[in-house]
Structure 1
Amino acid sequence: MKAFGFLSFGHYGSGTAPGEYGAREALQQAVEIGVGADEIGVNGAYFRVHHFAEQAASPIPLLAAIAAKTSRIEVGTGVIDMRYENPLYLAEEAAALDLLSDQRVAMGISRGSPEPADRGWEAFGYGDSDDAKAANMARTKFARFLSAIRGEEIASADPMQFGPGKKLRVEPHSPGLDRRVWWGAGTAATAEWAAAQGVNMMSSTLLTEATGASFGELQRDQIDRYRAAWRAAGHDWTPRVSVSRSIFPITTNLDDLYFGRRSGGEGDQIGIIDGARSTFGKTYAGEPDDLIEALKADPAVEAADTVLLTIPSQLGVDYNLHILESFASYVAPALGWEANTGGPVTGSAG
């Protein structure tokens, strides 16, 4: 069985132009979309995190608000930029939210994508002298985060209170949260690294690879190499793998006006990200039957157990719920999806 969720980038504006809304409206609408998605039976509500930009930045309050008003849907990120984070404080927040939500949290984390600020993590008080993109720092902090949520004893206790040699773990601790952590992988090599760490893999919305293969083929290779590395590492549980897609079923004239029928006429795109030639996936838009056939032919969608729909959050609550409802009603069942009736998905079909 496949799971599907939505991925929102949480864009907003200054709120001063006619019809434009600001941060307050964007956050409130995100909660409404999450609540509506839960009612539809969507498996997950995930939010991209960017800093120094007019879009979602601090995810925990938003996820807590959605979790408080829902009962089944998984709430998560896709992804948190670890370069900007205090790993132990993030572990405390994630565990507290997981306990409050009855273990419905999925933490997508990565080194992060390009940000508007030049080395913005330094303004947050973090630096990496070894790498201009701070990749080493991000991975070091991620390892510390994993240690914390896995309940490992990290800090030395006050010997006046506990005697010599006592170590303390970060509190609160939420058992099982470590199996709902994802690493956002932009290459096959980082996918293999994620497998070695024992975390789920969230294939990026773009890949910093361009070999001439399609986006779906590149992701399929990434997924296959991740699962092979997972088996080689000898982990004793089955991980989850997600891919993100822009998918718009055309069921109304308004859908046609916004998106047209692009699934056959628009291909992948090649661009430069962080100095590397990168591949961006195409938009799927068309009649439901056509979408079903196109998505079945997508090798990465076929291999992944979780599909995240990137939604146009700027178009408002009603229209975004219409997209999710259309996908849930006309497309997702043919791909092996069943409505969420009892909580988040907890494993994949390896």
Structure 2
Amino acid sequence: MPHEGEPLEQLGFLTIGSFDPADPGPGHESTLAVIELGERLGFDSAWLRHRHLQPGISSPVAVLAAATQRTSRIRLGTAVTPLGWENPLRLAEDLATVDVLSGGRLHPGVSVGPPMHFERVRAALYPDTADAEDFSYERVLRLLRLLRGERASPFRGTEGIEVFSDRVEPHSPGLASRVWYGGASLRSAAWAGQQGLNLLTSSVVRAEGSEDFAEIQASHLRAFRAAHPAGAAARASQGLVVIPTDSATPAQRDRYAAYVAARTPRTRSPQGPGRMLFAPDLLGTGEEIAAQLHAHAGYREVREVVFALPFGFEHEDYVQLLTDIAGRLGPALGWRPAGGVP
């Protein structure tokens, strides 16, 4: 694991893809431009987060389909798709289509549970079946079976001039092995390991037996690998918000500091009845953030990271942050950019 002096192997970033509801086009274009920049800077992966009924990317799979045509190397992922909003069969078709378009670069991240604010949206989302919907881990298993090419219909053959398959089409071999589970609890981390999935750790965790975020995240990673057939070789990624300031202007540094200060109080104790604990944002130069990460119990359990970009910043801020993550923070962690980028 990457203690100080041991190199980080994979570096990715996550964005929410904010936009102006009155004019959503520029925000979506900005998200695609950020992904293109990430590829040029040598990032290993770019991930989109779902935001339903909010001014953030509501359909990452559609946006990633566009990104497949504007990139050639960088891996593309969702972190995460909440399956409570999705029909697993239809989602499997969309994911397989985008994976084919990308040449096998798609890494779907998923989670389960009822949709956020379910009581507000159930009449629109599941007007006839809300009480019958299964929001358990079984929803992930259904998706995996469909991605693996298991039977989706009892019929395969020709009717008249139309040909029908009994599996999801297109079928993209290997896609199921690239599914990640986004877990915020010890139980979810262990379950993901038992199923042989990859694990995306969250910047929000359930406080169970401890109120130390780093130790909780580390315990999830250890439980995941202990349950995974691949053991220590099982893929897991750490997620935190990092805000390097190496090339930031004074005005940017002031705004970034205000952003972190406004969000810090919620990191001091578990929030709400679910006792959810938020990770502190990491602000400073690349060298300063690297020192914090090397001291972080969760970071010491991973070989790859997906750093989250802050919400609501301007496009030029994201350009500065990505440039500093790739050019300052990454090298301070021993990471080398992909694709031959110097």
Whether the 8 Å contact between 1:260 and 1:286 is mirrored in structure 2 is no
Q: How far apart are 1:210 and its partner, in Å?
A: 4.8
Matched, 1:10 2:17: yes
Name 1:243's counterpart in structure 2: 238
Return the offset for 1:246.
Answer: 1.2
1:278 alignment counterpart: 276
User: Residues 159 and 150 (structure 1 numbering): CA distance in 2 closer, same or farther, change over 3 Å?
Assistant: closer
Q: Which residue of structure 1 lines up, in the alignment, with residue 254 of structure 2?
A: 257
The runs of 5 or more residues in structure 2 that have no matched partner are 1-7
The match for 2:176 is 178
Q: Distance in 2 between the 1:260 and 1:281 partners? A: 16
The residue aligned with 2:155 is 157
Match of 2:137, SS state, is helix
- For 1:241-283, what per-residue CA distance to the aligned partner results, in whole angstroms no more than 9, with x for missing partners? 11211111122323421223979x958333435x311110001
- Aligned match of 1:59: 60
> Residue 337 of structure 1 corresponds to which residue in structure 2?
335
> Amino acid of the residue matched to residue 189 of structure 1?
R
2:302 alignment partner in structure 1 = 304
Among 192, 215, 224, which residue is 2:222 paired with?
224
Q: Which moved more, 1:72-81 or 1:205-214?
A: 205-214
Give runs of aligned pairs for residues 94-113 of structure 1, distance below 5 A. 94-111=95-112
Q: How far off its partner does 1:34 sit?
A: 0.6
Question: What is the CA deviation profile of residues 164-183 of structure 1, one whole-angstrom value per residue up to 9, with x for unaligned ones?
Answer: xx982211111111111011
Contact conserved, 1:50 with 1:115, CA < 8 A, in 2?
no
Q: How does 1:121-140 map to 2 (within 5 A)?
A: 121=122, 123-125=124-126, 127=129, 129=131, 136-140=134-138
Looking at structure 1, the residues matched to 66 and 86 of structure 2 have their Cα atoms a distance apart, in angstroms, of: 21
Calculate the TM-score normalised by the size of structure 1. Answer: 0.84
Contact 1:269 1:281 in 2 (8 A): no
Corresponding position of 2:89: 88
- The one-letter code of the counterpart of 1:239 is A
Matched residue type, 1:291: I
Which deviates more, 278-287 or 117-126?
Answer: 117-126
Aligned length in residues: 325
CA deviations over 1:53-91 (Å, ceiling 9, x no partner): 221111111001111101111111111110111101111
In structure 1, C-alpha distance between the alignment counterparts of 2:43 and 2:268, rounded to whole Å: 29
Deviations 1:22-50 (A, max 9, x none): 42222111001111111101111111112
Contact 1:8-1:311 at 8 Å conserved across structures: yes
Kindly indicate whether the alpha-carbon contact (under 8 Å) linking 2:20 and 2:55 is maintained by their aligned counterparts in 1: yes
SS for the counterpart of 1:62 is helix
- Give the RMSD, CA atoms, in angstroms: 2.9
Give the aligned partner of residue 317 of structure 1: 315
Please give the secondary structure, in 1, of the residue aligned with 2:191.
helix
Partner of 2:268: 269
Question: For residues 221 and 271 of structure 1, what CA distance do their matches in structure 2 show?
Answer: 17
- Name the CA distance, whole Å, in 2 between partners of 1:179 and 1:280: 29
CA distance in 2, matches of 1:185, 1:282: 18
Could you tell me which runs of 5 or more consecutive residues in structure 1 were left unpaired when the two chains were aligned: 16-21, 343-350
